[in-house]
């Protein structure tokens, strides 16, 4: 399936999810929408995701004319469409006629009709009905010149445990292991006498049955991802067969663990995601870092600009509290997406729905319906700014730093029993490492074990418990060739079926890191230890840092010890080591250290290795991010603090193309600088 890989429009996209099907009986509202879209410099709407009942009110009776008219009207006014396929929410008649499409939960109970994304993705009936509606949409709407891209379904999510899925799972396992003996061996089923005699006996994990065979749980999650990707591929095939060639995307959920998004790489041309940070829950500077990480993840997936597919223009009504975005926050969040490589700022939703569960979700146009609202005015400001920044479309980021953060590893860490069943700090460690890199002004790719490391100078590796995809060899040759690896405790423990490596860990890397891990101590909540610097250590670290949750004990062979434990029976054992291995360096962090430790360590390494940063001494809470084209470098500087900060910008080299030239960077302000190459 040769689709176009890029969106054919030389502009940043501004707009969002639009559900005109909810307003077909109110032509004056649709008119008003268009008028307000134009005033806010909206150039894109995403339509169709939840319109199946209006597109096929009865089986086989298609009514697409209304949507085509709207696509056409928008286009004539300079507004493009991303065409959604409606598989995320099926009509009532479909569920009645084909009950097999209803999802079955892990307790083996079949759902009633309701909600969305609750179909069986294996069901041949569902696949057939989706193919039919997609083909009709592709033929009747997909060829319209206004359709820029295809948006398959909406936030694929969850799993189905129905008999059809069980059967498919067994087939998938047969393919993976060949024989039941091999599966038994790899899954360690001799434990508790769980040996399978044949594939027919295998059942997906269930609280009513097997939950402790970790390899089963891991493979089930892999299967769910594979089956969802296969569903996506079928949806895409239908659009292709119906004549569409526009790039395809699926809207991902931020930090969603249920699916391994990496595996979608080959079935999409663009990655996109829905961003709903709780901006005012904690310090905005922390929330900004978290949002930044998600943006970077989405860009790193295909190593090209992504789309911010959804974001709330004000409050988000499914969160605990529907907090309003304080003035300027929507603008800052939108600019941040662009800074990290988004070619769009799109909202959910363009017009607030009147009834049902999202009637109080923020929208560009609210129930009042006028333009003199605070939110609409801020959207207008963003529209104007984006229109002036078209040259950024398609520009890229080429980070020299990467964070290795792997979904399959996350599944395995969470599922495993021990060394802490009351919370393993995987995400937290990744966040601390990411924050430390970003505070130095380094752009960061978020990669997984299937990626190559060669493009980077420094790779940070939090808690890589599970090794797969030849990662040990990759890390080894990365360091051999001059790379800097910083890896933590609880790494290289098991293989890809959660079987422990024999002969010492981190498996395959004991020579690279110059040490062997001997034991790991789980700490109770509230318990702490600390790392203290070794005198005259190579990085001149001089502070004491606390640690909690996990303290690993290592025995060094070649590594130098930079910090050691302050307390407990392992007082004096290493907390931080560095091993010079061939042309590179391998740092090992033995305990779950506080954030300040990561900040200081990364800062010291950046200085020692003379890693290039666009601005040194960045005030805390300020984000510095780059994008570049063949012709120019762009530097985004954003202040996420509640107060203004003083900051010197590199104005000799760069010229300001957006924002105020001022020594003070106001709260939530963005400045964009440009340097012609
Ligand atoms: C998700 C969905 C949207 C909408 C928003 C509300 O991201 O994709 O359809 O429900 O949440 O925040
Ligand atoms: Zn199913």
**Which DSSP symbol is given to 635?**
E
SS3 335: helix
Q: What is the mean pLDDT of the segment spanning 97-109?
A: 98
Q: What is the mean pLDDT of the segment spanning 487-514?
A: 98
Rounded Cα distance between 574 and 161, Å, is 47
Element of type H or E holding 69: helix 65-76
156 CB within 6 A, ligand 1: no
310 CB within 6 A, ligand 1: yes
pLDDT-based confidence at 526, cuts 50/70/90?
very high
Active site residue: 310, 378, 408, 623, which one?
Answer: 310
Nearest atom, ligand 1, residue 312 CA = 12
Alpha-carbon 311 to chain mean position: 14
Q: Quick check: 1 pLDDT over 90? A: no
Alpha-carbon 633 to chain mean position: 25
The angle, 0 to 180 degrees and rounded to 10, between the axes of the packed helices 426-439 and 595-608 is: 40
pLDDT the model gives residue 345? 98
Q: Quick check: 173 pLDDT over 90? A: yes
C-alpha 359 to ligand 1 mean position (Å): 12
Q: What is the tens place of the pLDDT at every residue in 612-655? A: 999 989 999 999 999 999 999 999 999 999 999 999 999 999 99
CA distances from 211 to 183, 195, 215, 430 (A): 17, 15, 10, 27
Q: What is the tens place of the pLDDT at every residue in 325-349? A: 999 999 999 999 999 999 999 999 9
pLDDT-based confidence at 661, cuts 50/70/90?
confident
Rounded Cα distance between 331 and 127, Å, is 40
pLDDT the model gives residue 171? 98
Q: What is the mean pLDDT of the segment spanning 593-597?
A: 98
Q: Quick check: 483 pLDDT over 90? A: yes
pLDDT the model gives residue 372? 98
Q: What is the mean pLDDT of the segment spanning 121-150?
A: 98
Q: What is the mean pLDDT of the segment spanning 231-235?
A: 98
Residue with tokens 């990480």: 293
214 CB within 6 A, ligand 1: no
Spatial CA neighbour of 649 closest among 620, 625, 673, 622? 673
Rounded Cα distance between 297 and 379, Å, is 26
pLDDT-based confidence at 182, cuts 50/70/90?
very high
Note whether 73 and 108 are within 8 A (CB): no
pLDDT the model gives residue 575? 98
Note whether 12 and 338 are within 8 A (CB): yes
Q: What is the mean pLDDT of the segment spanning 395-404?
A: 98
Rounded Cα distance between 341 and 24, Å, is 36
Task: Give the number of other Cβ atoms within 10 Å of residue 440's Cβ.
Answer: 22
pLDDT the model gives residue 336? 98
- In degrees, rounded to 5, the angle at the alpha carbon of residue 57 between the alpha carbons of residues 56 and 62 is 35
Q: What is the mean pLDDT of the segment spanning 193-211?
A: 97
SS3 441: coil
Q: Quick check: 674 pLDDT over 90? A: yes
Q: What is the mean pLDDT of the segment spanning 526-550?
A: 98
Residue with tokens 């009207």: 73
Q: What is the tens place of the pLDDT at every residue in 541-565? A: 999 999 999 999 999 999 999 999 9
Instruction: Give catalytic status of residue 257 as yes or no.
Output: no
Give me the chain's average pLDDT, please. 97
Helices within 321-464 (DSSP H only): 329-339, 374-388, 407-415, 426-439
Rounded Cα distance between 135 and 531, Å, is 61
Q: What is the tens place of the pLDDT at every residue in 46-86? A: 999 999 999 999 999 999 999 999 999 999 999 999 999 99
C-alpha 19 to ligand 1 mean position (Å): 12
Rounded Cα distance between 313 and 384, Å, is 16
Q: What is the mean pLDDT of the segment spanning 299-328?
A: 96
pLDDT the model gives residue 436? 98
3-state secondary structure 465-483: CECCCCHHHHHHHHHHCCC
Sheet holding 655-658, edge to edge: 622-628, 632-639, 670-676, 655-658
Task: Give the number of other Cβ atoms within 10 Å of residue 612's Cβ.
Answer: 11
407 CB within 6 A, ligand 1: no
Ligand nearest to the CA of 158: 2
Nearest atom, ligand 1, residue 274 CA = 7
Q: Are strands 664-665 and 645-646 parallel, antiparallel or unpaired?
A: antiparallel
CA distances from 570 to 193, 387, 420, 523 (A): 38, 60, 19, 13
Q: Quick check: 149 pLDDT over 90? A: yes
Q: Quick check: 663 pLDDT over 90? A: no
Pocket test for ligand 1, best of 250, 298, 310 (most atoms within 8 A of CB): 310
155 CB within 6 A, ligand 1: yes
Q: What is the tens place of the pLDDT at every residue in 418-476? A: 999 999 999 999 999 999 999 999 999 999 999 999 999 999 999 999 999 999 999 99
Residue with CA nearest ligand 1 atom 4 = 348
C-alpha 104 to ligand 2 mean position (Å): 6
C-alpha 162 to ligand 2 mean position (Å): 4
Is the Cα dihedral 34, 37, 42, 47 positive or negative?
A: negative
Instruction: Give catalytic status of residue 628 as yes or no.
Output: no
189 CB burial (10 A radius; 0-12, 13-18, 19+): middle
348 CB within 6 A, ligand 1: yes
Rounded Cα distance between 201 and 170, Å, is 9
Rounded Cα distance between 411 and 51, Å, is 34
The pair phi, psi for residue 455, each rounded to 5°, is -70, -10
């Amino acid at each position: 399936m040769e689709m176009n890989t890029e969106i054919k429009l030389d502009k940043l996209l501004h707009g969002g999810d639009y559900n005109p099907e909810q307003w077909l009986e109110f032509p004056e509202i649709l008119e008003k929408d268009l008028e307000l879209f134009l005033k806010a410099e909206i150039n894109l709407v995403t339509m169709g995701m939840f319109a199946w009942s209006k597109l096929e009110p009865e089986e086989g009776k298609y009514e697409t004319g209304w949507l085509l008219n709207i696509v056409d009207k928008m286009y004539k006014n300079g507004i493009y469409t991303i065409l959604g396929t409606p598989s995320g929410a099926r009509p009532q008649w479909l569920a009645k006629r084909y009950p097999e499409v209803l999802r079955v939960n892990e307790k083996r109970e079949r759902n009633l009709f309701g909600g969305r994304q609750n179909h069986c993705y294996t069901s041949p009936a569902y696949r057939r009905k989706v193919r039919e509606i997609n083909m009709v949409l592709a033929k009747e709407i997909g060829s319209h010149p206004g359709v820029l891209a295809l948006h398959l379904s909406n936030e694929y999510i969850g799993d189905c445990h129905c008999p059809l899925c069980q059967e498919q799972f067994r087939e998938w396992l047969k393919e993976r292991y060949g024989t039941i003996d091999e599966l038994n061996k790899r899954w360690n089923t001799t434990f508790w006498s769980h040996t399978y005699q044949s594939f027919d006996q295998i059942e997906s994990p269930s609280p009513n049955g097997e939950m402790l065979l970790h390899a089963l749980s891991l493979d089930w999650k892999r299967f769910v991802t594979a089956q969802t990707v296969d569903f996506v591929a079928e949806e895409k095939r239908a659009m292709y067969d119906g004549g569409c060639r526009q790039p395809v995307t699926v809207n991902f959920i931020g930090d969603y663990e249920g699916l391994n998004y990496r595996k979608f790489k080959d079935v999409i041309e663009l990655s996109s995601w829905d961003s709903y940070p709780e901006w005012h829950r904690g310090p905005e500077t922390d929330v900004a870092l978290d949002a930044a990480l998600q943006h970077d993840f989405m860009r790193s997936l295909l190593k090209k600009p992504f789309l911010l597919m959804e974001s709330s223009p004000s409050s988000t009504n499914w969160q605990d509290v529907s907090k309003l975005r304080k003035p300027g926050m929507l603008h800052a969040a939108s600019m941040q997406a662009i800074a990290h490589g988004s070619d769009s700022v799109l909202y959910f939703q363009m017009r607030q729905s009147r009834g049902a569960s999202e009637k109080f979700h923020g929208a560009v146009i609210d129930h009042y319906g006028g333009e003199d609202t605070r939110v609409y005015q801020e959207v207008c400001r963003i529209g104007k700014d984006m229109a002036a920044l078209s040259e950024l479309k398609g520009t890229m980021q080429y980070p020299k730093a990467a964070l290795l953060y792997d979904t399959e590893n996350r599944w395995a860490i969470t599922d495993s029993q021990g060394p802490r069943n009351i919370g393993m700090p995987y995400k937290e460690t990744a966040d601390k490492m990411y924050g430390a890199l970003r505070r130095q002004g380094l752009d960061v790719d978020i990669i997984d074990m299937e990626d190559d490391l060669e493009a980077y100078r420094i790779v940070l590796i939090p808690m890589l418990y599970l090794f797969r995809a030849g990662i040990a060899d990759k890390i080894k040759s990365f360091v051999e060739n001059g790379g800097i690896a910083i890896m933590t405790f609880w790494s290289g423990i098991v293989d890809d079926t959660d079987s422990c490596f024999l002969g010492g860990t981190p498996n395959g890397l004991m020579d690279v890191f110059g040490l062997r891990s001997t034991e790991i101590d789980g700490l109770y909540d509230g318990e702490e230890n600390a790392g203290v610097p070794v005198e005259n250590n190579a990085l001149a670290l001089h502070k004491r840092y606390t640690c909690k949750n996990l303290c690993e004990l290592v025995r060094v062979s070649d590594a130098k010890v930079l910090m050691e434990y302050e307390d407990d029976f392992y007082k004096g054992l290493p907390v931080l080591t560095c091993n010079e291995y061939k042309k590179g360096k391998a740092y090992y962090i033995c305990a779950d250290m506080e954030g300040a430790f990561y900040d200081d360590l990364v800062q010291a390494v950046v200085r020692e290795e003379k890693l290039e940063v666009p601005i040194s001494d960045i005030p805390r809470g300020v984000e510095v991010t780059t994008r570049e084209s063949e012709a120019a470098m762009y530097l985004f500087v954003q202040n996420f603090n509640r107060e203004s900060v003083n900051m010197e910008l590199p104005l000799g080299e760069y010229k300001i193309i957006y924002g105020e030239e001022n020594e003070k960077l106001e709260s939530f302000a963005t400045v964009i600088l440009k340097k012609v190459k």
